[in-house]
Amino acid sequence: MKKILVLGAGGTGRDVVQILGDINAVRPTYECVGFLDDDPAKQGATLEGVPVHGPLADAPQWGDAWFVNALGSVSTHWRMDAWIASLGIPEKRFETIVHPTAAVSPRAVLGPGCLIYPHVSIISDVVLGRQVVILPNSVLNRAVIVGDFAILASGVLISSAVAVGTCAYLGAGCNIIQKAVIGERSLVGLGAVVVRDVASGTVVVGNPAEYLRPSVPGGAQP
Protein backbone atom coordinates (compact mmCIF):
# COMPACT_ATOMS: atom_id res chain seq x y z
CA MET A 1 0.00 0.00 0.00
CA LYS A 2 1.48 3.32 -1.10
CA LYS A 3 1.03 6.17 1.36
CA ILE A 4 -0.63 9.16 -0.34
CA LEU A 5 -0.56 12.74 0.97
CA VAL A 6 -2.93 15.13 -0.81
CA LEU A 7 -1.82 18.72 -1.38
CA GLY A 8 -4.93 20.85 -0.88
CA ALA A 9 -8.00 20.07 1.23
CA GLY A 10 -10.56 21.68 -1.08
CA GLY A 11 -13.03 20.05 -3.43
CA THR A 12 -10.40 18.43 -5.62
CA GLY A 13 -8.65 17.03 -2.57
CA ARG A 14 -11.87 15.43 -1.38
CA ASP A 15 -12.37 13.99 -4.86
CA VAL A 16 -8.91 12.44 -4.67
CA VAL A 17 -9.80 10.57 -1.48
CA GLN A 18 -12.91 9.15 -3.14
CA ILE A 19 -10.99 8.19 -6.29
CA LEU A 20 -8.40 6.39 -4.17
CA GLY A 21 -11.25 4.52 -2.50
CA ASP A 22 -12.63 3.45 -5.88
CA ILE A 23 -9.18 2.20 -6.92
CA ASN A 24 -8.81 0.28 -3.66
CA ALA A 25 -12.22 -1.34 -4.19
CA VAL A 26 -10.82 -2.92 -7.35
CA ARG A 27 -7.34 -3.61 -6.04
CA PRO A 28 -5.97 -2.41 -2.68
CA THR A 29 -3.22 0.00 -3.68
CA TYR A 30 -3.21 3.20 -1.64
CA GLU A 31 -3.41 4.43 1.94
CA CYS A 32 -4.39 8.10 2.11
CA VAL A 33 -2.55 9.40 5.17
CA GLY A 34 -3.86 12.97 5.05
CA PHE A 35 -3.99 16.42 3.53
CA LEU A 36 -1.71 19.42 3.70
CA ASP A 37 -3.38 22.83 3.37
CA ASP A 38 -2.40 26.42 4.16
CA ASP A 39 -5.85 27.33 5.53
CA PRO A 40 -5.51 27.38 9.35
CA ALA A 41 -9.24 26.72 9.68
CA LYS A 42 -8.79 23.33 7.99
CA GLN A 43 -5.67 22.25 9.86
CA GLY A 44 -6.52 19.71 12.53
CA ALA A 45 -9.86 18.92 10.90
CA THR A 46 -10.89 15.61 9.35
CA LEU A 47 -12.27 15.54 5.82
CA GLU A 48 -13.56 12.41 4.10
CA GLY A 49 -12.26 10.53 7.14
CA VAL A 50 -8.73 11.82 6.53
CA PRO A 51 -6.84 14.31 8.75
CA VAL A 52 -5.52 17.70 7.63
CA HIS A 53 -2.04 17.71 9.13
CA GLY A 54 -0.61 21.15 8.48
CA PRO A 55 0.60 23.64 5.85
CA LEU A 56 1.99 22.82 2.43
CA ALA A 57 5.47 23.79 3.60
CA ASP A 58 5.51 20.60 5.71
CA ALA A 59 5.59 18.42 2.58
CA PRO A 60 9.35 17.67 2.69
CA GLN A 61 8.87 16.14 6.15
CA TRP A 62 6.79 13.34 4.63
CA GLY A 63 9.67 11.43 3.08
CA ASP A 64 7.80 8.11 2.96
CA ALA A 65 4.70 9.46 1.21
CA TRP A 66 3.73 9.98 -2.41
CA PHE A 67 1.94 13.21 -3.29
CA VAL A 68 -1.13 14.18 -5.30
CA ASN A 69 -1.53 17.79 -6.41
CA ALA A 70 -5.12 18.92 -5.71
CA LEU A 71 -4.36 22.65 -5.54
CA GLY A 72 -5.36 23.85 -9.00
CA SER A 73 -8.44 25.98 -9.65
CA VAL A 74 -9.82 28.51 -12.10
CA SER A 75 -8.17 31.28 -10.06
CA THR A 76 -4.76 29.67 -9.44
CA HIS A 77 -4.02 27.64 -12.58
CA TRP A 78 -1.69 30.27 -14.08
CA ARG A 79 0.84 30.00 -11.22
CA MET A 80 0.70 26.27 -10.52
CA ASP A 81 4.19 25.50 -11.82
CA ALA A 82 5.84 28.07 -9.56
CA TRP A 83 3.66 27.10 -6.61
CA ILE A 84 4.61 23.43 -6.81
CA ALA A 85 8.28 24.24 -7.40
CA SER A 86 8.31 26.32 -4.21
CA LEU A 87 7.43 23.25 -2.14
CA GLY A 88 10.66 21.44 -3.00
CA ILE A 89 9.02 18.06 -3.63
CA PRO A 90 10.97 15.86 -6.07
CA GLU A 91 9.02 15.26 -9.28
CA LYS A 92 9.32 11.49 -8.85
CA ARG A 93 7.34 11.68 -5.59
CA PHE A 94 4.11 12.66 -7.37
CA GLU A 95 1.83 9.69 -8.04
CA THR A 96 -0.29 9.39 -11.19
CA ILE A 97 -3.87 8.51 -10.21
CA VAL A 98 -6.29 7.09 -12.80
CA HIS A 99 -9.89 6.23 -11.89
CA PRO A 100 -10.86 2.64 -12.80
CA THR A 101 -13.62 3.83 -15.16
CA ALA A 102 -11.28 6.03 -17.23
CA ALA A 103 -10.40 4.68 -20.68
CA VAL A 104 -6.72 5.33 -21.38
CA SER A 105 -5.12 4.06 -24.57
CA PRO A 106 -1.95 1.99 -24.07
CA ARG A 107 -0.44 4.30 -26.68
CA ALA A 108 -1.03 7.37 -24.51
CA VAL A 109 1.75 8.79 -22.33
CA LEU A 110 0.91 10.22 -18.90
CA GLY A 111 3.48 12.31 -17.09
CA PRO A 112 4.17 12.00 -13.36
CA GLY A 113 1.48 13.18 -10.99
CA CYS A 114 -1.49 13.26 -13.39
CA LEU A 115 -4.98 12.97 -11.90
CA ILE A 116 -7.60 11.35 -14.16
CA TYR A 117 -11.22 11.42 -12.98
CA PRO A 118 -14.04 8.94 -13.76
CA HIS A 119 -15.22 8.33 -17.32
CA VAL A 120 -12.40 10.24 -19.00
CA SER A 121 -11.45 8.99 -22.49
CA ILE A 122 -7.83 9.38 -23.60
CA ILE A 123 -7.27 8.13 -27.15
CA SER A 124 -4.08 6.90 -28.84
CA ASP A 125 -0.95 9.02 -29.05
CA VAL A 126 -2.12 11.54 -26.46
CA VAL A 127 0.71 12.96 -24.35
CA LEU A 128 0.07 14.51 -20.93
CA GLY A 129 2.74 16.51 -19.12
CA ARG A 130 3.37 16.66 -15.39
CA GLN A 131 0.49 16.93 -12.94
CA VAL A 132 -2.27 17.38 -15.49
CA VAL A 133 -5.78 17.19 -14.00
CA ILE A 134 -8.69 15.93 -16.13
CA LEU A 135 -12.19 15.99 -14.64
CA PRO A 136 -15.05 13.57 -15.46
CA ASN A 137 -16.38 12.84 -18.94
CA SER A 138 -13.68 14.73 -20.81
CA VAL A 139 -12.49 13.33 -24.16
CA LEU A 140 -9.01 13.77 -25.63
CA ASN A 141 -8.79 12.59 -29.21
CA ARG A 142 -5.79 11.31 -31.13
CA ALA A 143 -2.42 13.05 -30.82
CA VAL A 144 -3.52 15.70 -28.33
CA ILE A 145 -0.63 17.15 -26.30
CA VAL A 146 -1.34 18.71 -22.91
CA GLY A 147 1.34 20.73 -21.12
CA ASP A 148 2.42 20.52 -17.49
CA PHE A 149 -0.08 21.55 -14.80
CA ALA A 150 -2.96 22.09 -17.22
CA ILE A 151 -6.49 21.56 -15.87
CA LEU A 152 -9.40 20.25 -17.92
CA ALA A 153 -12.77 20.69 -16.22
CA SER A 154 -15.72 18.31 -16.69
CA GLY A 155 -16.96 17.46 -20.15
CA VAL A 156 -14.16 19.06 -22.16
CA LEU A 157 -13.98 17.79 -25.75
CA ILE A 158 -10.62 18.18 -27.49
CA SER A 159 -10.40 17.24 -31.16
CA SER A 160 -7.30 15.60 -32.63
CA ALA A 161 -3.82 17.13 -32.74
CA VAL A 162 -4.58 20.00 -30.34
CA ALA A 163 -1.74 21.40 -28.23
CA VAL A 164 -2.64 22.74 -24.77
CA GLY A 165 -0.03 24.90 -23.05
CA THR A 166 1.48 24.76 -19.59
CA CYS A 167 -0.85 25.87 -16.77
CA ALA A 168 -3.82 26.36 -19.11
CA TYR A 169 -7.38 25.91 -17.81
CA LEU A 170 -10.16 24.55 -20.02
CA GLY A 171 -13.59 25.27 -18.58
CA ALA A 172 -16.40 22.74 -18.27
CA GLY A 173 -18.08 21.75 -21.49
CA CYS A 174 -15.76 23.64 -23.84
CA ASN A 175 -14.96 22.28 -27.29
CA ILE A 176 -11.64 22.68 -29.10
CA ILE A 177 -11.31 22.36 -32.89
CA GLN A 178 -8.61 20.08 -34.31
CA LYS A 179 -5.04 21.35 -34.53
CA ALA A 180 -5.73 24.41 -32.38
CA VAL A 181 -3.02 25.71 -30.06
CA ILE A 182 -4.15 26.76 -26.58
CA GLY A 183 -1.47 29.05 -25.18
CA GLU A 184 0.17 28.65 -21.80
CA ARG A 185 -1.64 30.12 -18.77
CA SER A 186 -4.71 30.80 -20.89
CA LEU A 187 -8.27 30.14 -19.76
CA VAL A 188 -11.06 28.84 -21.98
CA GLY A 189 -14.44 29.71 -20.52
CA LEU A 190 -17.37 27.50 -19.63
CA GLY A 191 -18.98 26.03 -22.75
CA ALA A 192 -16.74 27.98 -25.14
CA VAL A 193 -16.31 26.78 -28.73
CA VAL A 194 -12.71 27.32 -29.78
CA VAL A 195 -12.28 27.48 -33.57
CA ARG A 196 -8.87 29.20 -33.70
CA ASP A 197 -5.68 29.39 -31.64
CA VAL A 198 -5.85 30.95 -28.15
CA ALA A 199 -3.02 33.33 -27.23
CA SER A 200 -0.98 32.69 -24.09
CA GLY A 201 -2.16 34.49 -20.98
CA THR A 202 -5.67 35.25 -22.24
CA VAL A 203 -9.27 34.39 -21.35
CA VAL A 204 -11.59 33.47 -24.22
CA VAL A 205 -15.36 32.91 -23.95
CA GLY A 206 -18.37 32.32 -26.15
CA ASN A 207 -19.29 30.62 -29.43
CA PRO A 208 -17.09 31.16 -31.30
CA ALA A 209 -14.66 31.89 -28.49
CA GLU A 210 -13.35 35.46 -28.42
CA TYR A 211 -10.86 37.37 -26.26
CA LEU A 212 -12.26 38.69 -22.96
CA ARG A 213 -9.32 39.75 -20.77
CA PRO A 214 -5.86 38.66 -19.58
CA SER A 215 -5.84 35.45 -17.57
CA VAL A 216 -2.84 36.43 -15.45
CA PRO A 217 -3.36 39.26 -12.94
CA GLY A 218 -1.63 42.35 -14.25
CA GLY A 219 -1.18 40.77 -17.66
CA ALA A 220 -1.25 42.92 -20.77
CA GLN A 221 -3.81 42.61 -23.56
CA PRO A 222 -2.26 40.74 -26.52
Give the residue among 201, 166, 195 at the shortest CA–CA distance from 178: 195
In the prediction, which pLDDT does 193 show?
Answer: 98
Specify whether 136 is located in the same domain as 198.
Answer: yes
Give a yes or no: residue 9 inside a domain: yes
CB 151 within 8 A of CB 128: no
The domain tally of the chain equals 2
Q: For residues 209-215, give the mean pLDDT.
A: 96
Q: For residues 154-179, give the mean pLDDT.
A: 98
Q: Dihedrals φ, ψ of 103, to 5°?
A: -105, 110
Specify whether 111 is located in the same domain as 28.
Answer: no
Give a yes or no: residue 184 inside a domain: yes
Specify whether 137 is located in the same domain as 207.
Answer: yes
Give a yes or no: residue 197 inside a domain: yes
Mean pLDDT score of the chain: 96
In the prediction, which pLDDT does 217 show?
Answer: 87
Domain coverage including residue 166 = 97-214
**pTM of the entire predicted model:** 0.96
Specify whether 53 is located in the same domain as 123.
Answer: no
Specify whether 204 is located in the same domain as 106.
Answer: yes
Give a yes or no: residue 91 inside a domain: no
Note the pLDDT tens digit of each residue in 9-38.
Answer: 999 999 999 999 999 999 999 999 999 999
